[in-house]
């Protein structure tokens, strides 16, 4: 069959109309190097708040399990405090997540299936199971059932404190995608530091205070190191690190770094003064919250700036002649 380049079978269709006899160009233009559009997240402020509160709850559940399994009888009050903290934080985190979803039934719909390959599906199930287990271990009298619930919530507390980093790292948001390796570690370390900071504001006995100080020191050092690694990873992708340097998200990120370093420095001062504990606790909580909100709003900003960065580097939609 002879054709004019449009491959139209004139036995089936009739070439009539205003443009029927136009010829296609010998070398038609083709679009090259067109970046795919990126749609930013539609989450609201309650999501980074959930990241923060859920992280504290997960860390409290896990440390409470460690105290339950490896601690002595004299540490039972600390174990109970961890269980209640995990239950309250898990319940508050669930409320923040449902607030973002808009309706309670939407959270229940997330539990209709379980997909191990989906961080969101795994996270929903972890939250739904860990919170009631932590509450059961706190409410029930000391028995084998309470012990099993405490161990179960402690095991689930590990992914509860870290899965949000995996969740946002599994997106195409430039800042989150570029730092997907360090985000879960950063969120986990920050969860330990924030949980210890919260306990610094509580009335603890000397032994419990030593435990909190030890975990807090480890968490703050790991948080500072993971934050530095996250910045290094972000600088490897053009424009991904910019939201961490300036603007609202950059201010929050710098504030989180300052709070983490200052909290670590104050906690290293000898003595057990009340003013020292309050300062360490408030700095740790403020730094942990600022870190989550900096990552969240920095990711939103990186989506808006993605097109500008690639346009400046010659990756905007262009028309080129085919060879």
Report DSSP letters for 219-285, one per residue: HHHHHHHHHHHHHHHHHTSTTTTGGGTSHHHHHHHHHHHHHHHHHHHHHTSSS--HHHHHHHHHHHH
CA separation for the pair 175, 107 (Å, rounded): 27
pTM of the model: 0.82
Interval 110-166: pLDDT, tens: 888 899 889 999 999 999 999 999 999 999 877 888 889 999 999 999 999 999 999
Per-residue pLDDT, 103: 82
Structural contact between residues 199 and 267, judged by C-beta atoms closer than 8 angstroms = no
Burial class of 199 by CB neighbour count within 10 A (0 to 12, 13 to 18, 19+) = buried
- C-alpha closest to that of 306 among 203, 181, 175, 214: 175
Quickly list DSSP for 88-148: HHHHHHHHHHHHHHSSHHHHHHTTS---TT-HHHHHHHHHHHHHHHHHHHHHS-SSHHHHH
Structure tokens at 69: 């399994």
- Residue 321 is given by DSSP the state E
Tokens standing for residue 103:
């309706």
Q: What is the pLDDT along the chain (323 residues), one digit of tens a residue?
A: 555 556 667 777 776 766 666 665 555 554 444 455 677 788 999 999 999 999 999 999 999 999 888 876 667 788 889 999 999 999 999 999 999 988 888 888 888 889 988 999 999 999 999 999 999 999 987 788 888 999 999 999 999 999 999 999 999 899 999 999 999 999 999 999 999 999 999 988 888 899 999 999 999 999 999 999 999 999 998 888 899 998 999 999 999 999 999 999 999 988 888 899 999 999 999 999 999 999 999 999 998 887 665 555 544 433 333 33
Q: What is the pLDDT of residues 190-206, one digit of tens each?
A: 999 999 999 999 988 88
Among candidates 284, 161, 119, 294, which has minimal Cα distance to 213? 284
Nearest-CA neighbor of 158 among 129, 179, 137, 138? Answer: 129
Strand, coil or helix: 318? strand
Q: Which CATH number fits domain 40-170: 3.40.50.1100, 3.40.50.10480, 3.30.465.10, 1.20.1630.10?
A: 1.20.1630.10
């Amino acid at each position: 069959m002879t054709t004019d380049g449009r491959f139209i079978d004139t036995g089936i269709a009739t070439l009539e109309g205003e443009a029927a006899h136009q010829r296609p160009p010998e070398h038609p233009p083709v679009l090259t190097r067109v970046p795919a559009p990126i749609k930013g997240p539609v989450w609201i402020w309650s999501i980074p708040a959930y990241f923060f509160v859920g992280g504290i709850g997960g860390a409290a559940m896990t440390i409470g399990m460690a105290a339950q399994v490896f601690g002595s009888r004299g540490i039972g009050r600390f174990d109970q405090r961890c269980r209640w903290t995990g239950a309250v934080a898990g319940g508050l985190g669930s409320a923040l997540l449902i607030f973002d979803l808009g309706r309670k039934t939407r959270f229940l719909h997330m539990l209709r299936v379980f997909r191990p390959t989906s961080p969101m599906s795994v996270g929903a199930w972890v939250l739904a199971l860990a919170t009631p287990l932590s509450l059961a271990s706190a409410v029930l009298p000391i028995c084998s059932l309470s012990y099993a619930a405490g161990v179960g919530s402690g095991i689930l507390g590990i992914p509860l404190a870290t899965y949000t980093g995996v969740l946002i790292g599994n997106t195409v948001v430039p800042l989150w995608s570029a730092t997907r390796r360090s985000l879960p570690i950063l969120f986990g370390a920050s969860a330990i530091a924030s949980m210890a900071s919260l306990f610094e504001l509580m009335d603890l006995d000397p032994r419990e205070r030593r435990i909190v100080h030890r975990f807090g020191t480890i968490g703050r050092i790991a948080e500072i190191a993971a934050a530095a690694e996250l910045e290094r990873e972000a600088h490897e992708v053009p424009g991904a690190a910019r939201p961490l340097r300036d603007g609202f998200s950059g201010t929050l990120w710098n504030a989180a770094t300052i709070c983490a370093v200052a909290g670590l420095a104050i906690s290293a001062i000898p003595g057990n003064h009340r003013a020292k504990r309050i300062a360490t606790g408030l700095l740790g909580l403020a730094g942990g919250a600022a870190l989550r909100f900096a990552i969240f709003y920095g990711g939103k900003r990186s989506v808006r700036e993605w097109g500008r960065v690639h346009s400046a580097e010659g990756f905007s939609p262009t028309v080129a002649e085919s060879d």
